[in-house]
A = this chain, B = another copy of it.
């Protein structure tokens, strides 16, 4: 895969060991995450809205009530910054200074366009649903033309961006090994509780829902 495009505004400045332009890693993070934080500017003022998203090949698809607000600026090209972060752990060092978190994050910049064509929206709808539970788009009822028209969707080509990863335990200063303080890290992850069926559901729990991590 070709790397993400490096430009002055995505140039990685600090702790370069944690940064990359690895497109494959970026896609892995995007495919694992459930929410994107989408930034846009309105009259120079920044807005950041959590949005539901999916990846379709080299495109990011966005969807949600915020799309309407975002599109007020005009549907033919909205400059966006889309950031996706996965939290992997707490890093507890012997000093305040070296406390940190383990994470994987992708920052993507680009221009989003509105998806207008109904067939393309139908495909995007399936991508959103399958992003949550693999194969579910074939089990649930696909959208009617009326529902498609009521749903605003955006697409952005994945090109300019960067990836950052912090992993492992704390990196304490040599002189701090004498500090009598427990040091280490605590892995964290999203965990599911047992599924709660809708009271009117008569179907058994499907395998793809049962095996959600």
Known: A15-B65, A37-B48, A96-B129. A182 touches B206 (CB 8 A): yes
Docked pose: A100 CA to B65 CA in angstroms: 11
Tell me whether A133 is interfacial, beta carbon within 8 Å.
yes
Identical copies of this chain, number: 2
Tell me which of A83, A105, A126 has the highest count of chain B C-beta atoms within 10 A of its own C-beta.
A83
Interface string of A5-29 (1 = CB under 8 A from B): 0000100011100000000000000
Q: Assess whether A95 is in contact with B182, with CB atoms less than 8 Å apart.
A: no
Q: How large is the interface on A (under 10, 10 to 19, 20 to 34, 35 or more residues)?
A: 35 or more
Smallest CB–CB gap between A183 and chain B, Å?
A: 4
Hey, which chain B residues are within 8 Å of A97, CB to CB? 125, 143-144, 147, 151
Chain A facing B: main interface SS: mixed
* Chain A residues within 8 Å of B, Cβ to Cβ: 9, 13-15, 34-35, 37-42, 44-50, 52, 65, 68-69, 79-83, 85, 87, 90, 92-97, 99-101, 103, 105, 107, 109, 125-126, 128-129, 132-133, 136-137, 139-144, 147, 151, 169-170, 172, 176-177, 179-193, 195-198, 200-201, 203-206, 209, 212
